[in-house]
Structure 1
Amino acid sequence: MTLPQAVISFALVAGLLTLVPGMDTALVLRSSISRSRGFAFATAIGISTGAMIWGVAAAVGVSALLAASEMAYRVLTIAGAAYMIWLGLSLLWKSLRHGKAAAAPEAAAPVPGRNEFVRGWLSGTGTNLLNPKVGVFYIATIPQFIPAGESPLLVGVLLAGVHCVLTMVWFTLLIFGTGYASRWLKGTRSIRMIDSITGTVLVGFGLRLALEPAH
Structure 2
Amino acid sequence: MNEVNVLLTLASVHFIALMSPGPDFALVVQNSTRYGRQTGIAIAFGLSIGILIHSILSLTGISYLVHSHPTLFLLLQLMGGSYLAYLGLTGIKSIIQSIRKSSQDKKPGKDFTLNSKKQAFTRGLTTNLLNPKALVFFVSLMSTLVPASMSVEGKVAALVILWSLSLFWFALLAWALSTKRLQLVLARVAIYIDVICCLLFSILGTAILWQAVTQLLTN
Question: TM-score over 0.5 for the alignment?
Answer: yes
Structure 1: segments with no counterpart, 5+ residues:
none
Q: Deviations over 1:143-185 (max 9, x none)?
A: 3333464346x64443233222222222233222212311122
The letter for the 1-side match of 2:75 is: V
Aligned to 1:24: 24
State the TM-score, normalized to the length of structure 2: 0.86
Query: Whole-Å Cα distance in 1 between the matches of residues 175 and 41 of structure 2?
Result: 10
Map 1:120-199 → 2, pairs under 5 A: 120-147=120-147, 149-151=149-151, 155-180=154-179, 181-187=182-188, 190-199=189-198
Alignment coverage as a number of residue pairs: 209
Root-mean-square deviation (CA), in Å?
2.4
* Aligned-residue identity in percent: 25
- Secondary structure at the aligned position of 1:186 is classed as helix
* 8 Å CA contact 2:101, 2:109 repeated in 1: no
The letter for the 2-side match of 1:66 is: V
Q: Deviations over 1:61-120 (max 9, x none)?
A: 11110121011101000000000111111110111111112233348979x9xx610111
Give runs of ≥4 in structure 1 deviating > 6 Å: 107-110
2:107 pairs with 105, 114, 119, which one? 105
The letter for the 2-side match of 1:132 is: P
The letter for the 1-side match of 2:107 is: P
Query: Whole-Å Cα distance in 1 between the matches of residues 178 and 48 of structure 2?
Result: 21
* 8 Å CA contact 1:55, 1:157 repeated in 2: no
Aligned to 1:200: 199
The letter for the 1-side match of 2:53 is: I
The letter for the 1-side match of 2:96 is: L
Query: Whole-Å Cα distance in 2 between the matches of residues 208 and 149 of structure 1?
Result: 37
Aligned to 1:6: 6
